[in-house]
Structure 1
Amino acid sequence: MGSVVKDEEMSPPVKKLSSLRLNSPLAQVSLIGVVCFCCPGMFNALSGMGGGGQIDSTAANNANTALYTTFAVFGVLGGGIYNILGPRATLFAGCSTYVLYAGAFLYYNHYKHQTFAIISGAILGVGAGLLWAGQGAIMTSYPPTNRKGTYISLFWTIFNLGGVMGGLIPFILNYHRTADSVNDGTYIGFMAFMSAGTLLSLVILHPSKVIRNDGSGCTNIKYSSVAVESAEILKLFLNWKMLLMFPAAWASNFFYSYQFNNVNKFLFNLRTRGLNNVFYWGAQMIGSVLIGYVMDFSFKSRRVRGLVGVGFVGVLGSVIWGGGLANQLRYERDDKPWDLDFKDSGSVFAGPFVLYFSYGLLDAMFQTMVYWVIGALANDSETLSRYTGFYKGVQSAGAAIAWQLDTQKTSFLAQFITNWSLTTISYPLLALLILLAVKDDDDEDDEQSKQKKADESISLSKVG
């Protein structure tokens, strides 16, 4: 009988060819990255304009409140729905709601009725919960255990390239316009990308068909039932691991309303906001690659790598938020918007621009770090879909409140202090979670080997 060849022992040409298979983890993670490039990537670019590209942020704030309220519910339920329906139906249903949302702002551009935007936001929250639960399961369960940070950063890079491209759309189409709201072509461009992403989601394979380069399956997932998933989802709220992760989840989208509306929209004019988003989401690509390297390659021990990663993001975050405080003390909500243009010379433009760029860098590093921790808590897609669903649900509940705080005209400084405090609280709790729950690679390999032998013994006994 032939021996099984380990992935590390394969010759480079064979390894490269095997990685290009449609059913390889690399191909599937890349595909879900492209899907998110087209759908949430373009949504991020639209939101990053501040006010959904409108002069008045009220409609966008209310739509986002509705969005993240339903997202909070279906983010938690999304993992269970994914385990019942499988990836294609779940992702297709989720992606289709993004097109409706962009179309609602195209409608608002003409009629200024926010009801459609709010309803479409609520529907998008349902769809986003489905999409991100499926995305999280794919991104955290398919990669080899010692390369999860690399695969997460790969996804984050592809996904945020959508934000970069999406930032170019309003920058180019509104370059010579003096109006404060984007034109129809901007929304139509977003809708075209979102439609393409919806169709591409049908190429995603079921987890049982995805095979790693060493010939092993990524997960033993089977179609679940409503009763099983309902019980497992309820258990998450009593799971000590999820409770330690709760502050990080709550904080991870809370700062978007502040950064998009109170920094980008308040400080810059329309065309420069689009350009800023190119660099904001570009910074996310850099940040995800950087922290992915730290989490996968900095030290031999996986637990040590995790702790170093959390410490690194914590220190950098303190520096960036400190710079943000210095900037925020220069203006208040009642002040006249600055309307800075990218052609303005000197530090007048450069300082706020670098700060906004740094916010994007920190966002990606923070979220990649959290996803790495989630991925280190388990390996099977079924469990990780629930964990990531819980993460996205809590994240969205925080975001819903954040958008409404801005609608209620909460002071810029109060929002800033809240954001900095929430992220700071997260770091020691994530470090504790890593110490208590994350196993080193060798320990996990031993456990998987024992489980494999146990499964083989059971199979032999059944044959006998």
Structure 2
Amino acid sequence: MIDKSFVNVLLLGLSFMLIFTAFQTMGNIEKTILSSITSEDPTFTGNAYYSLAIIYVVFSIFNWAAPSVISVIGPKFSMVLGGCAYLLFIVSFIIPKTWLLYLVSTIIGIGAAMIWTGQGNYLTLNSTKRHISRNSGVFWAMLQLSMFIGNLFVYFAFKGKDKIDKSTRTVVIWTLSAVAVCGVFVLLILPRATKESEDDDEDAVEEVPEGPIAAFFGAVRLFMTKDMQLLSITFLYTGLELGFFSGVYSSCIGFTQAFENRKELVGISGLFIGVGEVLGGALFGILGSKTTKWGRDPIVGGAFIIHAVSYFLIFLNLPNSSPFNDTNESAYMTSNAILAIFCSFLLGFGDSCYNTQIYSLLGSVYADKSAPAFAIFKFTQSVGAAVCFFYADSLVLYGQLAILLVFGTLGTISFIWVEWTAKKQNTLKRSEDEKGSAANLT
């Protein structure tokens, strides 16, 4: 028998892999692309960091409306609308206009709320508590293949170039647009969500459909609970580090003149971020059932250590002014390209650990209200990313690393606290069930 629910998860992962091969690659090189456009056309004043900040501000606001939209049109068509917004954003770079850049940044923010809340809902509807960790890990690994594929393409497209000319930009933009179209098509053919019949027991989770108004107020009530507010600190940190590795760190490498072929290194950095993401997702997908038994807290604790090490190495290796423009400023050590790329891998692997465990926790603890839970996750995460991009254009590298370290510490502690609380509740529930079964037998 074919596990139809797992096939649905694979199709979901494929669609996101294609769409985000296009978008994450564009986000990774946006600063480099726009700097080249400005050098050719001084009237163009678009700022990549501000563009990304707008995306995540709008994303955060519209996350509150996403559960209501899903309650009306369902997760599939919510994701299709979101995918079309991502496609529009990428195509818009063919016409470099400052006003257009910020307009499509607003549109993609709305689309992002639709696609990500729909994704969390669809993934949960195709999962049982027994398999949510496996499905989350497999989805995450497939999604993050986008970083590997897209940045490998960028490496060869930018190879040997110090400035990214118009013809190169055109080839990159149209190629990424075609990939995004394929991703939207896969979303269109997604089957209806279903759970494997052999698991339709006490492990199976069902979400009761709500109307749009009830869905909105349900999300607000959930956000006000103690555990969700603690988790929001973790979500905020994942947004801050997402902004850093997806839009700032690779730009820092590309602006560091101590590196030879520094523009090529932008693509290699993104590629190794993707390698770390895929490895983490595959690891926790394959070992999903075992890691659930160990608990999610040691994985998140390990992710924090990995990120802390990467921040320290970046502090030593890159100039303080590298987030802004080309710089020949010295770092604390002689800037080393291999070490910079190794930090890219650490950033990706640590991010994968955080996100797979968040998906796993939300899909099990909040299985009966997954749409508002994932909306809150993406709301808080996108706020963090927006904040990161707003200060990225004015705050030196060392200041950015200090913020990441502080919030990483707080976010890790918060996640572990909620995980321990969930364990205690599960243990208490099992104990009560066992007592009830014993009483029935007597």
Query: TM-score range with shorter-chain normalisation?
Result: 0.7 to 0.9
Shift of 1:63: 1.6
Give the corresponding residue for 1:216. Answer: 200
The alignment partner of 2:100 has SS state of helix
Specify whether residues 296 and 444 from structure 1 end up closer, same or farther in structure 2 by C-alpha distance, changes over 3 A only: farther
1:172-223 CA distance string (max 9 Å, x none):
223243324652110111111111111211222333xx13141628554454
Give the corresponding residue for 2:299. Answer: 309
1:40-96 CA distance string (max 9 Å, x none):
342111112251633269532222122111100122322332232112221111110
Give the corresponding residue for 1:36. Answer: 16
- Contact map agreement 1:46 1:52 (CA 8 A) in 2: no
Give the corresponding residue for 1:47. Answer: 27
Give the corresponding residue for 1:378. Answer: 366
CA-based RMSD: 2.9
Shift of 1:144: 2.9
Residues 236-255 of structure 1 aligned to structure 2 (within 5 Å):
236-255=222-241
Query: 1:271 aligned to 264, 277, 282, which one?
Result: 264
Give the corresponding residue for 2:275. Answer: 282
The alignment partner of 2:240 has SS state of coil
Specify whether residues 103 and 418 from structure 1 end up closer, same or farther in structure 2 by C-alpha distance, changes over 3 A only: same
Give the corresponding residue for 1:458. Answer: none
Separation in 1 of the partners of 2:427 and 2:32?
A: 48
The alignment partner of 2:15 has SS state of helix
Separation in 1 of the partners of 2:214 and 2:106?
A: 27
Query: 2:71 aligned to 74, 78, 83, which one?
Result: 83
Give the corresponding residue for 2:350. Answer: 362
- Contact map agreement 1:317 1:362 (CA 8 A) in 2: yes
Shift of 1:246: 0.9
Residues 17-416 of structure 1 aligned to structure 2 (within 5 Å):
17-19=1-3, 24-51=4-31, 53-55=33-35, 58-108=46-96, 113-180=97-164, 183-207=169-193, 210-214=194-198, 216=200, 219-221=205-207, 223-268=209-254, 269-292=262-285, 296-298=289-291, 300=293, 304-328=294-318, 336-337=326-327, 348-380=336-368, 383-407=369-393, 409-416=394-401
Give the corresponding residue for 1:430. Answer: 415
The alignment partner of 2:386 has SS state of helix
Specify whether residues 172 and 334 from structure 1 end up closer, same or farther in structure 2 by C-alpha distance, changes over 3 A only: closer
The alignment partner of 1:39 has SS state of helix
Separation in 1 of the partners of 2:310 and 2:217?
A: 41
The alignment partner of 2:95 has SS state of helix
Specify whether residues 279 and 220 from structure 1 end up closer, same or farther in structure 2 by C-alpha distance, changes over 3 A only: same
- Contact map agreement 2:272 2:345 (CA 8 A) in 1: yes
- Contact map agreement 2:32 2:251 (CA 8 A) in 1: no
Letter in 1 for 2:296: G
- Contact map agreement 2:15 2:186 (CA 8 A) in 1: yes
Shift of 1:297: 0.6
- Contact map agreement 1:86 1:223 (CA 8 A) in 2: no
Gaps of 5+ in 2: 39-44, 255-261, 436-442
Separation in 2 of the partners of 1:93 and 1:406?
A: 30
Separation in 2 of the partners of 1:228 and 1:292?
A: 34
Specify whether residues 448 and 324 from structure 1 end up closer, same or farther in structure 2 by C-alpha distance, changes over 3 A only: farther
- Contact map agreement 2:317 2:336 (CA 8 A) in 1: no
Separation in 2 of the partners of 1:128 and 1:75?
A: 8
Separation in 2 of the partners of 1:298 and 1:220?
A: 24
Taking structure 2 as the reference length, what is the TM-score of the superposition? 0.84
Specify whether residues 222 and 398 from structure 1 end up closer, same or farther in structure 2 by C-alpha distance, changes over 3 A only: same
Letter in 2 for 1:123: I
Separation in 2 of the partners of 1:26 and 1:446?
A: 32
Separation in 1 of the partners of 2:152 and 2:412?
A: 34
Specify whether residues 435 and 397 from structure 1 end up closer, same or farther in structure 2 by C-alpha distance, changes over 3 A only: same
Give the corresponding residue for 1:421. Answer: 406
- Contact map agreement 1:101 1:124 (CA 8 A) in 2: yes
Q: Report sequence identity in percent.
A: 16
1:272-327 CA distance string (max 9 Å, x none):
21232222112100122334566631474xxx512222322233333233323322
Gaps of 5+ in 1: 1-16, 340-345, 451-464
Specify whether residues 78 and 448 from structure 1 end up closer, same or farther in structure 2 by C-alpha distance, changes over 3 A only: farther
- Contact map agreement 2:155 2:267 (CA 8 A) in 1: yes
1:137-178 CA distance string (max 9 Å, x none):
223443231332221110011111122111122222232433
Letter in 2 for 1:134: G
Give the corresponding residue for 2:438. Answer: none
- Contact map agreement 1:149 1:293 (CA 8 A) in 2: no
Q: Which moves more between the two structures, 72-81 or 62-71?
A: 72-81
Separation in 2 of the partners of 1:133 and 1:448?
A: 33
Residue-pair matches, total: 412
Separation in 2 of the partners of 1:439 and 1:311?
A: 19
Separation in 2 of the partners of 1:148 and 1:444?
A: 20
